Amino acid sequence: MKQCPAFLLLFSCLIATQLLFGQTLDAGRDSLVTDELVIRPIAEGVYVHTCFLQTNDFGKVPCNGMIVVSGGEAIIFDTPTTDSSSAELIRWIEDRLHCRVTGVIATHFHDDCLGGLNEFHRRGIPSYANRLTQRFAQENHAPVPQHGFDDQLQLAVGSQPVIADFVGEGHTRDNVIGYFPAAHVLFGGCLVKELGAGEGYLGDASVGAWSSTVSRARAAYPEATQVIPGHGIPGDVSLLDYTIKLFAPYR
C-alpha cells in the first residue's frame, strides 16, 4: 500500500468520523483532534480513540481503541501506539471527562494494542490481557500487561460491567474482543474488519479459524448494535458478517 502523507491520513480520518457521528470537525468537549490522536463519541459512555502506526507494508495506518466511562471511572481497550499519545489520552479523559482511568486491556500483542502501555504503568494504572498476550509480548520484547486471564475477564467501570472475551483465534492466536453491555457496543479490535477492507496483515494469523471465531463472537453478543474494528470506520453488526465472509474460504 502506498504511504499517505500524515495530514491527508488525518484529514480522511476526520471526514470519516464526521460522517459516522454526524459531528463537525471542531473538537468540542467530547472530542479531541490532534496530529497524533483523535477521540470521538460513538454511544453513551463510549468513545473511539484513534492513533497512527507507521508500517512497512501498509504505510501509516489509523488504529482504533475503545474507551468506556461510567460513574467517574474509565476503562480503555488497547493503548495508543506511543507513550506520548497514551499520556495525551489519559490527560484528556481526566481533564475533559473528569474520569479516573482504572484499567487498560490489550486485545493482542501487536504494537497497535500495547505500544503505549509503559505510560499506563508509569501512572500506576493496572493492565490486563489474555495470558497468551502476556507470553507473546514478552517473547517480542514488548511491554507486558500485568494481569492475565484465560477465557473471559469482567471488570466494573463505575457500576457497569465491561467484558473482555477470548472467543477463538483469528488475527492472532491471542486476540480478544471487548463488550460494554450498557451501550451494546462491541470492540472487535483487529479480529474485525471495516466494510470493504482487505485481509490485512496475516503474519501471526490463524486464517483457518478466523471466520468461525467471528461467528462465535456474533452469537455470544446478539444484542450488540455497534461494532468497532481495529482499523477503519465503526458500524453495525454487518462488520461481523463482512469479516465472516471475507475469511470463510480459508475454513
- CB-neighbour burial class of residue 50 (10 A; exposed 0-12, middle 13-18, buried 19+): buried
In a domain, 29, yes or no: yes
In a domain, 116, yes or no: yes
Condensed to tens digits (0 to 9), the pLDDT of residues 96-144 reads 999 999 999 999 999 999 999 999 999 999 999 999 999 999 999 999 9
Domain that includes residue 206, residue range:
6-250
In a domain, 1, yes or no: no
The total of structural domains in the chain comes to 1
Condensed to tens digits (0 to 9), the pLDDT of residues 31-48 reads 999 989 999 999 999 999
Map grid coordinates 460513538 to a residue.
42
Assign 3-state DSSP to the chain and report helix, strand, coil percentages, each to 5.
Answer: 30, 30, 40
In a domain, 208, yes or no: yes
pTM of the entire predicted model: 0.89
CATH number reported for the structural domain that contains residue 155 in this entry: 3.60.15.10
pLDDT of 3 over the 90 cut: no
In a domain, 27, yes or no: yes
Condensed to tens digits (0 to 9), the pLDDT of residues 39-98 reads 999 999 999 999 998 877 767 889 999 999 999 999 999 999 999 999 999 999 999 999
